[in-house]
Amino acid sequence: MPSINILEKPSIVALLERASSSLLELEQRIARDLEILEYPSRNWLPKIQRPDGAHVYDVIVVGAGHCGVTAAFALIRERITNILVIDKGSVGAEGPWQSYARMPDLRTRKAVTGNELGYSNLTFRSYYEAREGVDAYARLQRISCDEWTCYLLWLRRLLNIPVQNETELDLITPENQVFRLKVRQNGKTAELLTRRIIKTSGPLSMGGATIPPVIEKEIPRAHYATAYDDYDFSLLKGKRVAVIGGGASAFDNAGAALEAGAISVDLLLRRRKIPPVSVIRWTDWSGFLQTYADLNDDQKWKMMHQVQRNAAPPTIRAIKRVEAWSNFSIHFNSSIASATMIDNAVVLKTASEVITADFLLLATGFNFDLRKSPPLGKIVNEIALWRDRYAPLETASEKYLNSPYLGRNYEFIERTPGSAPYLKHIFCYNQSSTLSMGPTGRVSGLKYGIKRLMAGVCGSFLREDYEHHLSSVTNYKAHEFEDHPWMDAL
């Protein structure tokens, strides 16, 4: 996708304008809700003074997608206010919704909640009903990606979430009770100091897209993009496109390529048919999302293999979107046996067919490989992975084995106990935490995951600042009543 300013995209401008005129009353109700539920309102973290006078944040949240914004909201509610959220993207471009989510609507049902942390006036439903009316919400089938972008921007503005956009984290260096973060902002390098890091930098920041080895080896990069690349689909006009993959993203990419003017789109998937079941949806119940993290390793391993036994299938709208085109073909039972370049075209062979394309779109999932996460550069080898702690009986996927093996509150733990104690101050809240913590990075998991995350962050501060708090309670002298003859002199 060409780098456009999302805030100037006509469909977004139109929605933001509608929002600004009609949400005032709701916003006033929200201000009151926040005030009523403010207790206890005391900021409780000691201010860190450094000899060099440099500012030390208590928490830096890396990534301003929906997990980052919600984590920051939760921190503020816990009175941890000396925080900063950074995102490498520009305002409105955070997360996949305006780039590689090539679907018109969210896959999640419209009633999903999570970002609002239980404040009903902050839900998507309240936002939409205030703007469009109750009947309009009743008629709404799914939340569009534009609507979701505007909703997240609205939350962020209303809740005063301190986001610094176009700021990319390059490197984390632990240093005497703090982390030094090397960031790049507008081409310039800067450094930020923080006591805790919450890594809500999305699935791609933990390894990247999976590229089938046969493609990576034989096909030049100019002839393919992954489903997660911010690729300019207008370049597909007049091209023969082949999409590889059988999940929702494959169909969304095929639909987007057809709409961009591809002369033909062939979708190749290994499966015999599309599974009608999205097992991940089974996880949307409180007992599971709330306590999965407390299961033992064996239970987690078996459970998550069942949950992830198939990629999210396409929605029926995504299927209809592609089948409407006569230049679309679907090829089941089509594993790629070989891929070669002939006359500047990609020739794919399956067991029964030969398909020629000018360009490939790879919707073959993403992997976890922390070594490909540059910010973890210096500390990556200290982080425990599942492969370090668990030996499955059956042959297991690299993706699972390479997932970080997290503590009970999303914190990294050390591969070798005692070697990197600072790791417990980095909280990993993104899809790579799924095996350890459950699918709490999806909207529906935020309700439970963020609570657990906050318990971890708050607990870690209390433990580290214990002496400060002990001294504070020892010297506590706030009077409960005014001068009175019966009052003891302290």
Ligand X SMILES: Cc1cc2nc3c(=O)[nH]c(=O)nc-3n(C[C@H](O)[C@H](O)[C@H](O)COP(=O)(O)OP(=O)(O)OC[C@H]3O[C@@H](n4cnc5c(N)ncnc54)[C@H](O)[C@@H]3O)c2cc1C
* List of residues contacting ligand X (CB under 6 A): 62-68, 86-89, 94-96, 101, 106-108, 168-169, 200-203, 205, 249, 375, 430, 441-444
Rounded CA gap, 398 and 388, in Å? Answer: 13
- Between 97 and 301, name the residue whose CB sits nearer to ligand X: 97
How many C-beta neighbours within 10 Å does residue 277 have? 12
Give least dist CB 135 to ligand X, A: 24
- Between 45 and 116, name the residue whose CB sits nearer to ligand X: 116
- Between 88 and 300, name the residue whose CB sits nearer to ligand X: 88
Give least dist CB 466 to ligand X, A: 32
Closest CA to 98 of 47, 141, 149: 149
- Between 21 and 286, name the residue whose CB sits nearer to ligand X: 286
Cis peptide before 40 (omega within 30 of 0): yes
- Between 86 and 336, name the residue whose CB sits nearer to ligand X: 86
Rounded CA gap, 132 and 116, in Å? Answer: 19
Give least dist CB 206 to ligand X, A: 9
Rounded CA gap, 42 and 160, in Å? Answer: 18
Is the Cα torsion angle 379, 381, 384, 385 positive or negative in sign?
Answer: positive
For the chain, how long is the longest CA-to-CA vector? 99
Give least dist CB 203 to ligand X, A: 6
- Between 63 and 255, name the residue whose CB sits nearer to ligand X: 63
Rounded CA gap, 451 and 286, in Å? Answer: 13
| 170 sits in which H/E element | strand 167-175
Give least dist CB 108 to ligand X, A: 4
DSSP letters, 210-250, are ---HHHHHHS-GGGEEETTS---GGGGTT-EEEEE--SHHH
Rounded CA gap, 352 and 71, in Å? Answer: 50
Give least dist CB 148 to ligand X, A: 8
- Between 48 and 91, name the residue whose CB sits nearer to ligand X: 91
SS3 content of the chain, % helix, strand, coil (to 5): 40, 20, 40
Give least dist CB 312 to ligand X, A: 8
Q: Tally the residues of the chain.
A: 490
Give least dist CB 97 to ligand X, A: 7
- Between 67 and 211, name the residue whose CB sits nearer to ligand X: 67
Contact 378, 287 (CB under 8 A): no
Rounded CA gap, 114 and 118, in Å? Answer: 7
- Between 205 and 226, name the residue whose CB sits nearer to ligand X: 205
Contact 45, 468 (CB under 8 A): no
Give least dist CB 157 to ligand X, A: 17
